[in-house]
């Protein structure tokens, strides 16, 4: 089966819906063409120059990364211009780039949940639960024989995604009536005559942000001159979604033993520790990457220990004052597990693809 960039985007959005991304973030397809065929994918934390070299070596048509290469508008695409140079390389090589960042951080089975599970935490839940998501319910009436075409069009445009399931719709058959007036160009019937047509009431949900593209696709695929449809606003929670995670160990254990667990899971020996190590811990909170701002939330949630990738000086002082143990394992080490997470997700869904984990090293080295 031919796999396109678009197919991969849709699968990743099922795992990490774009609506979970922070407002300042930039996720999704950042470079390339959604209809490009893909046979090889390189998965990385960053779209660095070295990673682009690896993509060239393994003939990967697509890069899937955690950190967006483009955060704000580019003013030029020239050599020796940092980000512009890398984007220019991708464009000239015809390679596409997808970023799954804070949406993957917050996803129910995303990066933070993955790290928490690998650390052996139980009863894992979000440290900061996600707010209600803005959804719409779309109801459209379609004549029998055209339901599949309309369903495919609206789902391809962004409707019908529920968790890791796509093309989610519901249909029930009924009878629609209408009387075309003079000047109308009806698909079925004649002016002045009441028509009765077997129609399907097709229902689905969609993110409010996708409303424009979904309606445009629906109207283009629908055979009627005038399409009858309804829209209803919804407010639903994201079960299991949110920033960070908190959970418990099966049994209390010494801080030293948990430190060793962190070293093994994250593959790093560079751990900075704040607080008293001669104690046992059981309730563990974490946030991959730059999670120092959530230290207070971890304290309020009753965490004995908080693991993250970046802690500022004043945050370290606060943690020591509150008597909580904090581990700063570095941004790279706490987010590097995104590579095996996404690699496994893509390989399982698309067995015909060659999925290559990038070789990357922490930009910080011990002196």
pLDDT tens figures, 202-227: 999 988 878 999 999 999 999 999 99
Query: Is-contact 278 323, C-beta < 8 A?
Result: no
Element (H, E) at 346: helix 338-349
Query: Can you tell me the mean pLDDT for 15-43?
Result: 92
Q: Is the pLDDT of residue 273 over 80?
A: yes
Higher pLDDT, 200 or 130: 200
Comparing 131 with 283, which gets the higher pLDDT?
Answer: 283
Structural tokens at position 100 = 């799954």
The pLDDT confidence band at residue 164, using thresholds 50, 70 and 90, is low
Cβ pair 176, 187 in contact under 8 A: no
Write down the pLDDT at residue 182: 85
On average, the pLDDT of the chain sits at 93
* Selection from 171, 187, 191 nearest residue 179 by Cα: 191
Amino acid 367: pLDDT: 65
pLDDT tens sequence across 300-343: 999 999 999 999 999 999 999 998 999 999 999 999 999 999 99
Q: For residue 281, what are the β-bridge partners? A: 253
The rounded distance, in Å, linking the Cα atoms of 213 and 318 is 47
Q: How far, in Å, CA of 190 to CA of 181, rounded?
A: 8
pLDDT of residue 215: 96
How far does Cα 302 stand from its chain's mean position? Answer: 28
- How much is the pLDDT for 300? 95
Q: Which domains does the chain have, with CATH numbers?
A: 5-100+337-357 (3.40.1390.30), 111-129+241-328 (3.40.1390.30), 133-236 (3.30.70.120)
Over residues 142-153, the pLDDT tens digits come to 999 999 999 999
Contacts of 165 (CB under 8 A, 6+ apart): 14
Confidence (pLDDT) at 310: 95
């Amino acid at each position: 089966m031919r796999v396109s960039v678009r197919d991969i985007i849709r699968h990743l959005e099922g795992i990490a819906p774009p609506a979970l991304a922070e407002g300042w973030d930039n996720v999704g397809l950042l470079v390339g063409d959604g209809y490009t065929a893909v046979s090889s994918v390189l998965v990385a934390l960053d779209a660095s120059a070295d990673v682009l070299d690896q993509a060239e070596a393994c003939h990967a048509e697509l890069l899937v990364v955690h950190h967006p290469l483009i955060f704000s508008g580019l003013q030029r695409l020239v050599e020796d211009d940092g980000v512009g140079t890398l984007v220019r390389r991708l464009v000239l090589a015809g390679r596409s780039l997808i970023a799954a960042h804070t949406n993957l951080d917050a996803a129910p089975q995303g990066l933070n949940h993955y790290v928490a599970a690998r650390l052996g935490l139980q009863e894992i839940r979000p440290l900061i639960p996600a707010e209600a998501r803005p959804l719409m319910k779309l109801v459209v009436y379609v004549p029998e024989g055209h339901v599949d075409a309309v369903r495919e069009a609206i789902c391809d445009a962004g409707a019908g995604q529920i968790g890791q399931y796509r093309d989610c719709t519901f249909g029930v058959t009924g009878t629609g009536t209408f009387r075309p007036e003079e000047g109308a160009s009806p698909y079925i019937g004649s002016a002045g005559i009441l028509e009765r047509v077997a129609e399907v009431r097709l229902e689905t949900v969609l993110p409010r942000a996708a409303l424009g593209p979904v309606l445009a696709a629906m109207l283009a695929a629908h055979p009627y001159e005038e399409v009858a449809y309804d829209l209803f606003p919804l407010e639903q929670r994201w079960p299991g979604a949110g920033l960070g995670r908190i959970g418990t160990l099966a049994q209390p254990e010494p801080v030293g033993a948990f430190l060793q667990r962190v070293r093994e899971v994250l593959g790093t020996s560079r751990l900075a520790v704040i607080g008293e190590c001669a104690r046992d811990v059981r309730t563990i909170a974490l946030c991959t990457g730059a999670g120092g701002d959530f230290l207070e939330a971890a304290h309020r949630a009753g965490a004995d220990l908080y693991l993250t990738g970046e802690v500022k000086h004043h945050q370290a002082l606060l943690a020591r004052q509150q008597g909580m143990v904090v581990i700063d394992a570095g941004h790279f080490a706490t987010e590097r597990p995104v590579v095996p997470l996404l690699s496994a997700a893509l390989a399982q869904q698309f067995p015909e693809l060659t999925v290559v984990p990038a070789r990357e090293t922490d930009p910080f080295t011990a002196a």
